[in-house]
Amino acid sequence: WWSSGAQHAQLMKDGEVDMTTGWNGRFDVAKEDGAKVAYDWQSGIMDWEGYGIPKGAKNKDLAMKYIAEMMKPEYMAEFAKYITYGPTNGKVYELGLMEESRARMMPSHPDNAKYQLTISQEWYAKWRTIAAEMYTEMMTE
């Protein structure tokens, strides 16, 4: 088991494990550093993050504009030049804003996303407590 975002890739890079779970962006950085790391998109798990604005925030309109600006496809394409966490705005691919070779490295590229399971927030909202209990039980056996 690993406990930090960088640890899973480091375990692979150091040859301490032959297989692990982890984030593609971290594995790609390890690969760029010379690690013998490979993965495919078959049965991967795609997770999403989001932005939130606290209820009653005094600068809500400004925050909404900021988020809208960040979500523009040209900015997402630029960000993806530096780490392979895929753009969430599909227009990046539709408009061809990335070099094709780089785009195909992204988990959100249509050719990769179709093979992955997308995390269901609805499922977690309903089953989180039971799933956490089952996980804790499994880890203590």
Domains delineated in the chain:
40-140 (3.40.190.10)
Please give the average per-residue pLDDT across 118-123, as a whole number. Answer: 90
The pLDDT assigned to 1 comes to 72
Q: What percent of the chain has pLDDT over 90?
A: 68
DSSP string, 104-122: TTSTTSHHHHTTSEEP-HH
Output the six-digit token pair for 87. Answer: 């753009």
User: What sign does the dihedral 60-62-68-71 (CA atoms) show?
Assistant: negative
Strand partners, 46: 118
Q: What percent of the chain has pLDDT over 70?
A: 100
Confidence of residue 54 (pLDDT cuts 50, 70, 90): very high
Identify the residue whose tokens are 């504009």.
Answer: 65
The pLDDT assigned to 122 comes to 93
The pLDDT assigned to 93 comes to 98
Mean pLDDT score of the chain: 93
